[in-house]
Amino acid sequence: MDLGLIIYLMSLLTMGGIYAVLALGLNVQWGFTGLFNAGIAGFLAVGAYTQAILTTPIDRDHLGAYDWPIPLAMVVAMVFSAIVAFAIAKICIRLRSDYLAIATIGIAEILRLVFKNELWATNGPRGVSQIPKAFEGVRFADIDWLTGDLSGWAALRYEAVSRGWMDVPLPTPEERFLTAGLFLGMVVAIVLVLYIALEAARKSPWGRTMSAIRDNETAASAAGKDIEAFRLESFVLGAAMMGLGGAILAQYLKQIDPQVADPLTATFLVWVMLIAGGSANNKGAILGAVLMYAVWSGTEILSQKLLTFLSSDTVGLLTLAEAGEWSIRFAYLRVFLIGLILQFILQRRPQGLLPEKRPKPRPKPSPRSAPEAEKTGSTQA
Amino acid sequence: MMEFLNFYLFPGILLGCIYALGAIGISLTFGILRFSNFAHGDTMVLGVYITLSFVWLTDLHPLVVMPLAMALTAFAMLGMDRAFFKPFRKSPPIMSVIASFGLMLMIRSAVQFFWGTQIQAMVKGIQPPLQWLQPLMLREKQLYILGGTVILMVAMHLLLTRTKIGKAMRAVSDNPDLAALTGINTERVVQATWILGASLAVAAGVFLALDTQVETNMGFKMLLPMFAAAILGGIGKPYGAVLGGMVIGIVEEVSAYPWIGTTPLLNPGYKAGVAFAIMVLMLIWRPQGLLRGRQF
């Protein structure tokens, strides 16, 4: 395999992983509890801007120069996202899901306006740049290859900062490759941790209460469950994960602007991912995210290749200017395709690629020990 | 005083007319089909671009070709209903919401693919304010918008109160079970809802395009104020939607007036937030809306 392809696949998996974090967050809200969040972009942007402002080392034209450690900023990004979610959920959670959808779309738009208009904090439409990325400072020299010790990277990042960014020796292509690899590793690890945690939550009484509320609110309420409290928890938890996704995205892109809250790539794509993969199935959310991102990115490359071919000297069907015009138009065709995929799945396979698997309720421990009870066949539940 | 009228109140009333026309469709769809239609704003965009194409083809005034665009868009809406909403009539409403979410982006991307994303002008050239109305500064096109809105509202009122299908629509919106019992053909009512909603949305879009410009994301920008207007007026109440649209349009514009001191009370960049704030306050204080609409 040539290096270009490997780098492409790595970027595909990294972005797919970031989208998987978002899709898992949406799965908590929609899949398990049936809360329609149409403002993923807003929570993502809160996370991304928190990360960007807290970690940028140099005050440029915006709030910043706090130079926080990356992991700490990621945690705060989650907290801020959760606070926004709490405020919105407090108002709308008791109403029918349509209202929540409208309110979340609204809050996402308002947040985009804030990021665009508050120049002193966010640098407006020009955005925040030079966002530190995890593992960025890693140089080959820092790694003790025998023990795999990576502790050198953090020290080096601070050294880079103290010297001012321009003085840092540019990383060699190999070192950039190393950074990308380690970053991908971090994303995969985060997705894995979230997956394991959510699987545990899903099988726990908490998770089963969630799906009970989703499927039959009245019955769950009759069983003594505080529906509003459970919904609120689920919404806030999901939004925190979206904030985390934003924090990772900000690092990966290195620069963000209000376009990060674009409803198309942030909200809509995540919805298609979750529905395609399978709502209420955590594996489905991850699979859908990686798969749909591959479609999204693959069609882009395909259309570029096609246009390069058509405008090449040997074929010469298009001039370069025309090819540029068409490449913009093809982007919209891809959106159309994604929309069509959503409609198709919704009608033909509403449960998605991996349908929901309900956890089996654990038998209540009887006065005697459970295995014994099974042996004798008496199920005193 | 004149400044307030010319630069804040009149623009607010004009915007209110546009929101009102757009919100009627949202409110009726919510009341009769029981879901919030996120594709409504982009149905409007489709109609605006169809109108624009007719203007390019025939060189007539947009308002002359608008009825044709309204008919075509309504026809397209019926087709989209059959393809994307009809399969979910008996499903939970949230399925239709997701479908409308998808349809929203499909329509918009189709418009962007065929017409491109450059900002266009519906009518070329700058219109000066009319001389005979001085010191009021109103342009000819703004009078058209006001007049057009009044005509469409009267037509809608006559349709809803004097025709069989209009009465059936109100009946289904008020009580679907009772309406079905009396033998009303629900499917016909649904079709009439789409036709009425889409036609008025196209009118709202063309008016907005006359007042400002044509762009592909104008539908999405309109979505929030239209929803806010529908909720403010009361879901399923077309007259409530008109009231709500007027209130939101006027408050949006007037909020930028320097009420205290010399700076705008609200940074005009946040105008879009006004609709949202009104909607949130309404959801807290009176979720059924001003005119006692349906509450879910």
- At A378 the pLDDT is 44
Mean pLDDT, residues A187-208 taken together: 94
Q: Is A338 on the interface with B (CB under 8 A)?
A: yes
- C-alpha dist (Å) from residue A291 to A201, A260, A283: 25, 21, 12
- At A139 the pLDDT is 64
Q: Is A321 on the interface with B (CB under 8 A)?
A: no
Mean pLDDT, residues A269-274 taken together: 94
**Measured between alpha carbons, how far is A286 from A22 in angstroms, rounded to an integer?**
9
**Is residue A185 over pLDDT 80?**
yes
Phi and psi (nearest 5°) for A4?
-55, -45
The answer to the question of residue B198 being in a domain is: yes
End-to-end CA distance of chain A: 58
User: Is B200 in contact with B24 (CB distance < 8 Å)?
Assistant: yes
- At B6 the pLDDT is 82
Tokens matching residue B3: 């400044």
Q: List, for residues A73-84, the tens digit of each pLDDT value.
A: 999 999 999 999
**Placement of tokens 């606070």 in the chain:** A83
Query: Lowest-confidence range among A134-143, B28-37, B228-237?
Result: A134-143
Q: Comparing B137 with B43, which gets the higher pLDDT?
A: B43
Highest mean pLDDT among A206-215, A318-327, B105-114: B105-114
ipTM passes above 0.85: yes
Query: Which residue in B129, B127, B138 sits closest to B5, CA to CA?
Result: B138
- C-alpha dist (Å) from residue B229 to A138, A160, B161: 54, 53, 22
**Measured between alpha carbons, how far is A312 from B236 in angstroms, rounded to an integer?**
57
The answer to the question of residue B171 being in a domain is: yes
User: Is B137 in contact with B6 (CB distance < 8 Å)?
Assistant: yes
- Cβ-based interface (< 8 Å): residues of B facing A: 30, 35-36, 38, 83-84, 87-88, 93-95, 97-99, 101-103, 105-106, 108-110, 112-113, 116-117, 220, 223-224, 227-228, 231, 267, 269-270, 272-273, 275-276, 279-280, 283-284, 287, 296
Residues in B closer than 8 angstroms to A268, CB to CB, are 101, 105
Across the interface, of B102, B276, B296, the residue whose CB is closest to A96 is B296
Mean pLDDT, residues A287-315 taken together: 88
**Placement of tokens 């299908």 in the chain:** B165
**How close B3 gets to chain A, by Cα (Å)?**
26
- At A370 the pLDDT is 47
Tokens matching residue B138: 């109103």
**A304 Cβ partners below 8 Å, 6+ apart?**
A327
What chain B residue is nearest to A38 in terms of C-alpha separation? B101
What average pLDDT does chain A have? 83
C-beta atoms of A333 and B109 within 8 A? yes
User: Is A284 in contact with A353 (CB distance < 8 Å)?
Assistant: yes
Q: What is the largest CA-CA distance in chain A?
A: 83
C-beta atoms of B38 and A38 within 8 A? yes
Residues in B closer than 8 angstroms to A261, CB to CB, are none
pLDDT band for A57, please (50, 70, 90 cuts).
confident
Q: Comparing B50 with B255, which gets the higher pLDDT?
A: B50
The answer to the question of residue B107 being in a domain is: no
Neighbours of A90 (CB within 10 A): 14
Residue A148 exposed, middle or buried by CB count within 10 Å (0-12, 13-18, 19+): exposed
Neighbours of A308 (CB within 10 A): 14
**Measured between alpha carbons, how far is A235 from A134 in angstroms, rounded to an integer?**
28
Q: Count Cβ neighbours within 10 Å for each residue of B124-149 and write b for 16 or more, e otherwise.
A: eeeeeeeeeeeeebbbebbebbbebb
C-beta atoms of B36 and A98 within 8 A? yes
**Measured between alpha carbons, how far is B154 from A49 in angstroms, rounded to an integer?**
49
**B172 Cβ partners below 8 Å, 6+ apart?**
B31, B32, B179, B184, B186, B189
**How close B186 gets to chain A, by Cα (Å)?**
22
Across the interface, of B106, B117, B227, the residue whose CB is closest to A102 is B227
**How close A307 gets to chain B, by Cα (Å)?**
16
Q: Is A369 on the interface with B (CB under 8 A)?
A: no
Tokens matching residue B11: 């623009």
Q: Comparing A22 with A132, which gets the higher pLDDT?
A: A22
**Three-class SS state of B264:** coil
- At A225 the pLDDT is 87
- At B2 the pLDDT is 80
Q: List, for residues A147-181, the tens digit of each pLDDT value.
A: 545 555 545 554 554 445 444 556 677 777 888 89
- At A363 the pLDDT is 67
- At B138 the pLDDT is 83
**Measured between alpha carbons, how far is A167 from A161 in angstroms, rounded to an integer?**
9
Strand pairing partners for B235? B294
pLDDT band for A16, please (50, 70, 90 cuts).
very high
Radius of gyration of chain B (CA): 19
Query: Lowest-confidence range among A211-220, A290-299, A336-345, B152-161?
Result: A211-220
Residues in A closer than 8 angstroms to B228, CB to CB, are 106
Q: List, for residues B267-292, the tens digit of each pLDDT value.
A: 877 888 888 888 888 888 888 888 87
The answer to the question of residue B9 being in a domain is: yes
Residues in A closer than 8 angstroms to B112, CB to CB, are 329, 332, 335
The answer to the question of residue B183 being in a domain is: yes
C-beta atoms of A98 and B223 within 8 A? no
User: Is B66 in contact with B203 (CB distance < 8 Å)?
Assistant: yes
Mean pLDDT, residues A336-352 taken together: 92
Alpha helices in chain A (DSSP H): 3-26, 40-55, 70-92, 97-117, 119-122, 152-162, 173-203, 205-215, 217-222, 227-253, 269-277, 282-311, 320-348, 370-376
pLDDT band for B123, please (50, 70, 90 cuts).
confident
Residue to mutate among A88, A97, A98, with most B CBs inside 10 A, is A98
The answer to the question of residue B130 being in a domain is: no
The answer to the question of residue B7 being in a domain is: yes
C-beta atoms of B269 and A36 within 8 A? no
**Measured between alpha carbons, how far is A78 from A139 in angstroms, rounded to an integer?**
29
Tokens matching residue B113: 């693919």
**How close B225 gets to chain A, by Cα (Å)?**
9
Q: Which domain holds residue B70?
A: 2-88+138-285
Mean pLDDT, residues B74-88 taken together: 96
Count how many domains chain B has: 1
What chain B residue is nearest to A124 in terms of C-alpha separation? B269
The answer to the question of residue B84 being in a domain is: yes
User: Is A91 in contact with A27 (CB distance < 8 Å)?
Assistant: no
Q: Comparing A354 with B295, which gets the higher pLDDT?
A: A354
Query: Which residue in A22, A8, A12 sits closest to A273, CA to CA?
Result: A22
Q: Comparing A227 with A360, which gets the higher pLDDT?
A: A227
Tokens matching residue A181: 């690899």
- At A170 the pLDDT is 62
- At B294 the pLDDT is 67
**Measured between alpha carbons, how far is B145 from B150 in angstroms, rounded to an integer?**
9
Residues in A closer than 8 angstroms to B109, CB to CB, are 332-333, 335-336, 339
Residue A125 DSSP symbol: G
**Placement of tokens 């908590």 in the chain:** A28
C-beta atoms of A95 and B296 within 8 A? yes
pLDDT band for B295, please (50, 70, 90 cuts).
low
Chain mean position to CA A268: 12
Query: Which residue in B222, B269, B216 sits closest to A122, CA to CA?
Result: B269
